[in-house]
């Protein structure tokens, strides 16, 4: 766990307690509790439809929760008076389908939030955007429109769009699931680099190798509840629960022929 | 008398009369198109509301307009409504009412399509960077909707302009009717007048519609994606 690895007990940044979410009669999240510490990288994995994406969407208010509470730095954000516009500047989110705004250039995509929401100056926002673009290898693309970029480039730009608001924590919702295999790497490398620089992140992914490399803790969700929380090595080599073992086995293939 | 039909254009004020007729056509079209766009945007927004009642009403409206020939609508308004309710509507006003009624439905459907074609994730991405609902519409949704909408709206405009030729049948003297009048008055002096006059009428429609249609194509190309 993060606090063990760092040797000190870091602050709890995001505190999730007994979260409940249902769509109509369907219960999607039953009773979900999790603490995310500052600087920690949590990877959430689980079978399709287990509620992991819904879980992320609850964290920045894209879905209303039916029970439980979420606290950001101690402040309750699941109340009815929550100013989501403020909260969302602190909780960034990157989506599977990148969703850059097609009517704007890359630079305009990035500066929209800082200028219109945070009221930062256009010059400062553009300068910061250029620095961040260079960091993800897109320095040449500031004036390109999204349609001129590859999937991997779009997703890297989308990550910068979240980063530029200086969020406390970034949520990644299966950000490589829509990408061609050869572009997955460039996006994951960006996230790995962010992890190394100390960003707090909650990542939903199906890339098991990546999960193992980037996570401080792996959270396994199945049937709308957390089944297991373990450090990555432990989770992938020796899962505690039968359900996690079954899930991980789906990624294994037996050899068709016996070794000679 | 040698029959060189083209001279008919220079007889008296014939050409000016044709242009006058064209002006009536353009006037009816422009007013109808502007009103259709205005009401169409409102109807289109209503069409996207998830409410079974508004959905059904707008659906019936659109289907009704599409099924009814415009000519029948013109007759209903010009002859039917005026006698039934004892109001006096000029042919031109009746025409504007009918074309606006029709255009609003078609435009509404285009607006609906354009609004729905913006993926849900565009709204969510806007929310995720902290934009307010109004800002999301202003910077993200409306620019994308307008781009999809303008070429389609322009095509609808040319269709409406062409269809205004029906208003002769409720006694409005527009370009086609002026052409017929000229042909009839000069039946004996210029037996081949109809060819020339209709060719000119064709050319006048072309003159109005072609630039508009080019504009639509140009914008479509420019805004691809």
Q: Domain residues of chain A, as ranges?
A: 1-80+213-254, 93-166
- Taking a contact as any Cβ pair under 8 Å apart, which residues of chain A between 141 and 170 contact chain B? 145, 147, 158, 161-162, 165
Domain covering A1-80+213-254 assigned CATH 3.40.50.2000 in the classification: no
Q: What is the mean pLDDT of residues B163-186?
A: 84
Q: How far is Cα A196 from Cα A200, in angstroms, rounded to an integer?
A: 10
pLDDT of residue A158: 95
pLDDT tens figures, A115-160: 999 999 999 999 999 999 999 999 999 999 999 999 999 999 999 9
**Is residue A108 scored above 60 in pLDDT?**
yes
Shortest CB distance from A89 goes to which of B130, B143, B144?
A: B130
Q: Chain B: nearest CA to A90, how far in angstroms?
A: 9
A35-44, A115-124, B82-91, B110-119: lowest mean pLDDT where?
B82-91
In tens, the pLDDT along B53-62 reads 999 999 999 9
- List Cβ neighbours of B49 (8 Å cut-off, separation of 6 or more): B55
Closest CA to A129 of A144, A146, A117, A112: A112
CA angle A149, A155, A157 (to 5 degrees): 75
Inter-chain residue contact B127 with A88, CB threshold 8 Å: yes
Give the number of domains in chain B: 1
Reported confidence tier of residue B88, pLDDT bands at 50, 70, 90: confident
Whether B128 sits inside 8 A of A92 (CB atoms) is yes
Region of A140 (left: φ > 0; alpha: ψ -120 to 50; beta: rest) is: alpha
| Cα B103 from Cα B32, distance rounded (Å) | 7
Measured at the CA of A55, the angle between CA A54 and CA A58, to 5 degrees, comes to: 85
Give the Cα separation of B137 and B186 in Å (integer): 59
pLDDT at A6 over 50: no
Asked if A97's CB is within 8 angstroms of B129's CB, the reply is no
Distance, in angstroms, between A108 CA and closest chain B CA?
Answer: 10
* pLDDT(A3) > 60: no
Q: Is B1 a residue whose pLDDT tops 90?
A: no
Residue-level pLDDT at A79: 80
CB contact under 8 A, A85 and B225: no
Check: CB of residue A10 under 8 Å from CB of residue A198: no
Most confident residue range from A48-52, B33-37, B143-147 = B33-37
Tokens coding A6: 């760092």
Quick check: A99 and B225 CB within 8 A?
no
pLDDT tens column, A17-55: 999 999 888 888 988 999 999 999 999 999 888 888 999
Cα separations in angstroms, B175 against B26, B94, B155, B162, B198: 9, 17, 21, 11, 10
Stretch A173-177: mean pLDDT, rounded? 90
Instruction: Report pLDDT digits (tens) over A78-100.
Output: 888 888 888 999 999 999 988 89
Mean pLDDT of B134-146: 90
What's the CATH number where B56 sits?
A: 1.10.3720.10
End-to-end CA distance of chain A: 42
d(C-alpha B151, C-alpha B217), whole Å: 7
Residue B147: closest CA among chain A residues belongs to which residue? Answer: A103
Q: Do A95 and B125 touch (CB under 8 A)?
A: yes
Separation of alpha carbons A176 and A178, rounded Å: 6
Q: Looking at this predicted complex, what is its ipTM? A: 0.84
Q: Confirm if B144 and A102 have CB atoms less than 8 A apart.
A: yes
Helix axis angle for B14-47 and B142-163, nearest 10°, is 140
Q: Percentage of chain B with pLDDT > 70? A: 96
Query: pLDDT tens digits, residue range A60-81?
Result: 889 988 889 999 988 888 888 8
Residue with tokens 């209503």: B46
Q: Which domain holds residue B140?
A: 5-222
Find the mean pLDDT for residues B39-62.
Answer: 90
Q: Cα–Cα distance between B90 and B74 in angstroms, integer?
A: 12
CA distance B41 to chain A (A): 20
User: Looking at beta carbons, which residues of chain B come within 8 Å of A158?
Assistant: 125
The dihedral built from the CA positions of residue A68, A72, A75 and A78, taken in this order, carries a sign that is: negative
What is the structure's pLDDT at A10?
66
| B187-216 pLDDT per residue, tens | 777 777 788 888 888 888 898 888 888 888
Cβ contacts (< 8 Å) between B125 and chain A: which residues? 95, 99-101, 158
| Residue B16 or residue B123, greater confidence | B123
CA angle B98, B60, B117 (to 5 degrees): 95
- Residue A160 near residue A136 (C-beta atoms within 8 A): yes
Indicate yes or no: pTM above 0.90.
Answer: no
Please name the residues in contact with A8: beta carbons below 8 A apart, sequence gap of 6 or more.
none
Chain A: residue whose CA lies nearest to B125? A99
For residues B28-44, give the mean pLDDT: 92
Query: Which residues in chain A are contacts of B140 at CB distance < 8 A?
Result: 101, 103
Alpha-carbon gap, residue A94 to A171, rounded angstroms: 6
């Amino acid at each position: 766990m993060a606090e063990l690895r760092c040797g000190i007990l870091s602050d709890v940044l995001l505190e999730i307690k007994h979260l409940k979410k249902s769509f109509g009669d369907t219960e999607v999240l039953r009773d979900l509790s999790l603490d995310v510490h500052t600087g920690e990288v949590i990877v959430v994995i689980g079978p399709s439809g287990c509620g992991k994406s819904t879980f992320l969407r609850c964290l920045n208010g894209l879905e209303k929760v039916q029970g439980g509470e979420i606290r950001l730095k101690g402040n309750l954000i699941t109340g009815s008076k929550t100013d989501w516009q403020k909260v969302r500047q602190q909780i960034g989110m990157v989506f599977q389908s990148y969703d850059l705004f097609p009517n704007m250039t890359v630079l305009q995509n990035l500066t929209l939030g800082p200028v219109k929401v945070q009221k930062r100056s256009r010059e400062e926002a553009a300068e910061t955007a250029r620095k961040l673009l260079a960091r993800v290898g897109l320095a040449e693309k500031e004036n390109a429109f999204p349609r001129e970029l590859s999937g991997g480039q779009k997703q890297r730009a989308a990550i910068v769009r979240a980063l530029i608001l200086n969020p406390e924590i970034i949520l990644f919702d299966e950000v490589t699931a829509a990408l061609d295999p050869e572009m997955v790497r460039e996006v994951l490398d960006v996230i790995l680099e962010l992890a190394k620089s100390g960003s707090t992140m909650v990542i939903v992914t199906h890339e098991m190798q990546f999960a193992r490399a980037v996570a401080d803790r792996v959270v396994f969700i199945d049937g709308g509840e957390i089944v297991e929380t373990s450090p990555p090595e432990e989770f992938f080599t020796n899962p505690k629960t039968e359900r996690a073992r079954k899930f991980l086995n789906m990624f294994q293939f037996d050899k068709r022929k016996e070794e000679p | 008398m040698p029959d060189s039909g083209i001279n008919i254009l220079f007889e008296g004020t014939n050409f000016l009369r044709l242009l006058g007729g064209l002006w009536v056509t353009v006037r009816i079209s422009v007013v109808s198109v502007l009103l259709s766009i205005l009401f169409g945007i409102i109807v289109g927004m209503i069409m996207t509301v998830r409410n079974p009642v508004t959905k059904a009403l707008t659906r019936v409206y659109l289907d009704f307009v599409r099924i009814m020939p415009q000519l029948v609508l013109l007759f209903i308004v010009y002859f039917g409504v005026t006698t039934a309710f004892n109001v006096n509507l000029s042919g031109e006003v009746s025409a504007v009412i009918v074309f606006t009624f029709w255009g609003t439905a078609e435009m509404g459907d285009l607006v609906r399509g354009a609004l729905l074609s913006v993926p849900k994730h565009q709204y969510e991405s806007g929310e995720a960077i902290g934009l307010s609902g109004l800002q999301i519409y202003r910077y993200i949704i409306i620019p994308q909707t307008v781009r999809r909408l303008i070429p389609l709206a322009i095509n609808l405009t040319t269709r409406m302009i062409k269809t205004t030729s029906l208003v002769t049948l409720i006694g409005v003297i527009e370009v086609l009717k002026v052409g017929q009048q000229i042909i009839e008055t000069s039946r004996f002096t210029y037996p081949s007048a109809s060819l020339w006059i209709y060719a000119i009428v064709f050319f006048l429609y072309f003159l109005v519609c072609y630039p508009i249609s080019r504009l639509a194509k140009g914008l479509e190309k420019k805004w691809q994606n």
